Amino acid sequence: MPRGWVVGAILHAGDDVSGVRATGVVTSGPNPMGGPADLMLVAEEPGVGLGARFAGVEGADGAIAARPIADTLKRTEGGERPVVAATVDRAPLWAAETPQAFRATALRRAVDAARAEGRLAAATDCASLIEAVGGRVRLVPPGGPNLKVTTPADLAVAEHLLRGAHGSQLH
C-alpha cells in the first residue's frame, strides 16, 4: 500500500454500503483508523492480490486487476439473427477483474456524478465510473488465475476445479 495511505473500506460482492450493493458500486466506508479514508477496495474475494492493487494506485485514481483479452472478438450486425460484421483488434483490449482499488475521494466523486446523471444503476464496475468523470485507472495483471464466479455455469467450473485440486470432497 502506498506510504501514508489507510484503507477506507474493504468490500466484497454483496456488501451493502450507503444503500448501494458492492456488486456494482461502493460509495463510502468506515476508516478503521479514524479520519477520512484515502483508499477503497472493491473485491469479490478477500485478500486476492491486494498489495499489487494498492501499489498500482500511485499516480492514478485507481487500479484494477486486468489481463489482455485472449479471445477473438467479433462485431456483429443483424439484430436477433446476428452475422459477423468484423473481427475486432484485441491488442488494446483488457478484461477487467477484481479486486479494484480507488482513491476514496475519486470514487466518491465518480459515484456522486453517476447518481446525479442517472448512470449509477447501469455501472458494470467502479472503474467505469472513475473513467466517466475523466479519472485515470491503471491496469495490473493479476499474476495468476483469477476465476470469476458469476453464473451457475461458472460455479460448476469452480467446483470441478476444486474437486480436482482437493480430491472429491468439497465442504
Q: pLDDT tens for residues 29-87?
A: 444 444 455 666 665 554 445 565 566 677 899 888 899 999 999 999 998 999 999 99
- Contact present, 110 and 62 (Cβ < 8 Å): no
Same domain? For 162 and 110 the reply is no
The strand ranges marked E within the chain are: 7-12, 16-17, 20-21, 39-43, 62-68, 73-77, 83-88, 94-103, 137-140
Domain span holding position 43:
7-140
CATH number at residue 62: 3.90.550.10
| Whether pTM exceeds 0.85 | no
pLDDT at 104: 79
Q: pLDDT tens for residues 103-151?
A: 878 888 888 898 899 988 888 888 999 999 999 999 988 877 777 777 8
16 falls within a domain: yes
1 falls within a domain: no
168 falls within a domain: yes
Domain tally, the chain: 2
Give the containing element (helix H, strand E) for 132. Answer: helix 126-132
Q: pLDDT tens for residues 94-111?
A: 998 877 888 878 888 888
Same domain? For 171 and 126 the reply is no
Question: Which of 64, 2, 65 is closest to 38 using CA atoms?
Answer: 2
Cα torsion angle, 21, 24, 25, 26, sign: positive
What number of other Cβ atoms are within 10 A of residue 122's Cβ?
9
Same domain? For 15 and 60 the reply is yes
- Please state, in angstroms and rounded to a whole number, the distance separating the CA atoms of residues 171 and 169: 7
Same domain? For 57 and 123 the reply is yes
Same domain? For 167 and 88 the reply is no
